[in-house]
């Protein structure tokens, strides 16, 4: 189900506050994925877009997270904004974005990161740093004087939440928690105990 305007504006409000309070990486979120057989893994990724379909981040499709999301298209993510004393938690489904959207974002990355996306076989064993830097050199030579295209093994995923929880730190651990849950075509809002 599409996110409501209320949820998007609440997220933007929390995000703005985190930035104003000096949060260094407000787009960083801890993404948890599963292989569907009980193994859960987590890591940091950066939020690159948000619209009514959900929260978009980019990664290598050969990575552990991507293989897990392809096998089990459900994920959770947590933003911790310590500077503003806030947290946002998402739980939902994941899907790859359209190739055009991935191309559009890839073309905005700096050239070094574009080359890096080709050079890194993310999450696979690497014999040495020299091997990686050698690959970087090879890719730079290959695309010298022309645009670096998006590798087909690098794309975006959209996490479409079924629940979104906004948490705000309060005195004596009497924190505020508001949970939005998608139910029968509506978003229900519920206050939770801290």
List residues with catalytic annotation: 173
Distance in angstroms (rounded) separating the CA atoms of residues 33 and 74: 7
- Span 122-141, contacts to ligand FMN by CB under 6 A: 122-123
Number of residues that bind ligand FMN (CB under 6 A): 16
Distance CA 43, CA 13 (A): 25
Q: Please choose, from the candidates 50, 52, 49, 41, the residue with its C-alpha nearest in 3D space to the C-alpha of residue 75.
A: 41
Task: Rule CB under 6 A: choose which of 41, 107, 183, 186 binds ligand FMN.
Answer: 41
List 103's β-bridge partners, or say none.
none
Residue from 84, 92, 93, 79 nearest 29 by CA: 79
Q: Which of 57, 81, 118, 167 binds ligand FMN (CB under 6 A)?
A: 57
Stretch that binds ligand FMN, among 10-18, 53-61, 127-135, 179-187 (CB under 6 A): 53-61
Judged by CB under 6 A, the stretch of 52-60, 86-94, 132-140, 142-150 that binds ligand FMN is 52-60
What are the beta bridge partners of residue 167? 87, 177
Work out whether 163 is an interface residue with ligand FMN (CB under 6 A): no
Q: Does 25 bind ligand FMN (CB under 6 A)?
A: yes
Decide if residue 64 touches ligand FMN (CB under 6 A): yes
Instruction: Identify the burial level of 80 via C-beta atoms within 10 angstroms of its C-beta, where 0-12 means exposed, 13-18 middle and 19 or more buried.
Output: middle
- Residue 187 touches ligand FMN, criterion: CB under 6 A: no
Q: What angle do CA 45, 50, 56 make, to 5 degrees?
A: 40
Determine the interface stretch with ligand FMN among 54-62, 103-111, 163-171, 180-188 (rule: CB under 6 A): 54-62
Please, what is the minimum distance in Å from the beta carbon of residue 175 to ligand FMN? 25
4 scored as a contact of ligand FMN (CB under 6 A): no
In Å, how far are 3, 7, 166, 180 from 191, measured between CA atoms? 18, 14, 10, 9
> What residue ranges bind ligand FMN (CB under 6 A)?
25, 28, 41, 43-46, 57-60, 63-65, 122-123
């Amino acid at each position: 189900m599409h996110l409501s305007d209320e949820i998007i504006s609440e997220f933007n409000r929390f995000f703005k506050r985190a930035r104003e309070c000096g949060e260094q990486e407000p787009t960083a979120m801890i993404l948890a994925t599963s292989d569907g057989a009980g193994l859960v893994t987590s890591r940091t990724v950066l939020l690159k877009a948000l619209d009514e379909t959900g929260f978009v981040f980019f990664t290598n499709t050969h990575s552990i997270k991507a293989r897990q999301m392809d096998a089990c298209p459900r994920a959770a993510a947590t933003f911790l904004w310590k500077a503003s004393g806030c947290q946002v938690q998402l739980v939902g489904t994941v899907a790859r974005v359209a190739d055009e959207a991935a191309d559009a974002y890839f073309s905005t990355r700096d050239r070094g990161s574009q080359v890096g996306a080709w050079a890194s076989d993310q999450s696979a064993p690497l014999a040495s740093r020299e091997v990686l830097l050698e690959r970087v050199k090879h890719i730079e030579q290959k695309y010298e004087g022309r645009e670096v295209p998006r590798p087909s093994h690098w794309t975006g995923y959209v996490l479409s939440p079924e629940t979104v929880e906004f948490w705000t730190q309060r005195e004596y651990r009497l924190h505020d928690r508001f949970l939005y849950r998608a139910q029968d075509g509506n978003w229900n809002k519920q206050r939770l105990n801290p």
